[in-house]
Structure 1
């Protein structure tokens, strides 16, 4: 009972913080669950993936219903297709590494290292973004490859991948923050739904509580709603400071998790 409450609070607070900064809560939920050690790495990845898929699906549906989901179809469709393929590939890599390691904790250590360096790269890009020249790629094959790469990251790490998506979409396609956020939602949704479909079809669903999953999803959606409202009340400079601080905290958690899994 206590563990269920803790998991729900993690989902709620992570989603609030993620929505305030515009990166979603998935990148926070997975490493925090790993650090608490109240479930296996496989279960944490699965539950986190289900949660971010539900959150992104809700956000896309809400935006479509409010007629706010405008995006460039020429790039959006191939990016989403690549993300769906990347979701399958990322889950395949996860299963391959899991079966190769003698201990289930080893895959958690690998995920922690990957997440640390990706977060570090995002932080560097954010600090230096004014000096970096962005591109405006439109070729379908390159769009598919970009979606594929982001889909692999989202699925393999079970985190959604909000900040990585935003940075790469900004760098490769010169997308403004709002357009990048819309495309990021599609990437997360298609990557996770293809990954979860592969898990279910392969009969590799880990043991978990449906009540915990439902609680995580509801808490995640509620946190996203709260976070968006808070975001509108604070200054852009404050959001930027919170974003950098959040990335720094995630990196510390990754270091802790890596040491714990050794």
Structure 2
């Protein structure tokens, strides 16, 4: 009972932060649940992906219905197409690596160290972005390639994309933090759909209790509702500060998880 409450609370709070910053929530859910040791790595990755898909899907669809979806359709479509393919590739890599390791828990340490260095790089970029020249990419092939990379990262790590989407969208397409947040959720939605569908069709999906699966999905949607309302009321600078603060927390958790699973 207590574990279930903890899982739902983590999912809700992560989704609130994810909706505000456009990071999907999975980058918080995955390492936090890994650190608590409530479920195995494979199950956490699957549940995190399902939660992120629910949260991002609700955010995108509800914004579109209100006419508030600020997505660059051409760029978003190309990046999302690449992300969908990357989501499949990332899941394939996850399964190949898991089957090739003698100890299945080792994949948790690999995910932790990959997430640590990627997050450190993203935090460094965020701290120095005023000094970094950004681009206005319009080439479709580059957009698809960028989406492919994001899809592989999000699916393999089971995080939904996180800050990597925001940084890449800012660097390649010169998007502001709030515009990048909406475009990020749009991309995350398609990447997670492809990854989860592949897992289901292969018959390799974990079988967590339906109450946990459904509860996390609902917590993700509830978090998206609250996060959207908060996002509309706060300044870009505040969103940026929250984004950087979350990255610092993630770095600490990743170091703990690496030691735990190694």
How much does 1:224 deviate? 2.2
Scaled by the length of structure 1, the TM-score of the pair is: 0.95
The structure-2 alpha-carbon separation of the partners of 1:224 and 1:103, relative to structure 1 and needing over 3 Å to count, comes to same
Q: Deviations over 1:21-52 (max 9, x none)?
A: 44331110010010000101000000000110
- Are the equivalent residues in 2 in contact too, given 1:170–1:180 (CA < 8 A)? yes
**1:210 equivalent in structure 2:** 210
**1:57 equivalent in structure 2:** 57
**2:161 equivalent in structure 1:** 161
- Are the equivalent residues in 1 in contact too, given 2:22–2:185 (CA < 8 A)? no
Counterpart CA distance in 1 for 2:197 and 2:237 is 40
Scaled by the length of structure 2, the TM-score of the pair is: 0.95
**1:117 equivalent in structure 2:** 117
Q: CA RMSD in A?
A: 1.5
Superposition pairs for residues 99-178 of structure 1, below 5 Å? 99-178=99-178
Superposition pairs for residues 210-229 of structure 1, below 5 Å? 210-229=210-229
- Are the equivalent residues in 2 in contact too, given 1:85–1:151 (CA < 8 A)? yes
Superposition pairs for residues 14-33 of structure 1, below 5 Å? 14-33=14-33
Q: Deviations over 1:169-226 (max 9, x none)?
A: 1101112333322321222111111111111111101121110011111112212222
How much does 1:233 deviate? 4.4
The structure-2 alpha-carbon separation of the partners of 1:55 and 1:122, relative to structure 1 and needing over 3 Å to count, comes to same
List gaps (5 residues or longer) in structure 2: none
**1:77 equivalent in structure 2:** 77
- Are the equivalent residues in 1 in contact too, given 2:155–2:191 (CA < 8 A)? yes
- Are the equivalent residues in 2 in contact too, given 1:24–1:224 (CA < 8 A)? no
**2:9 equivalent in structure 1:** 9
How much does 1:240 deviate? 3.2
List gaps (5 residues or longer) in structure 1: none
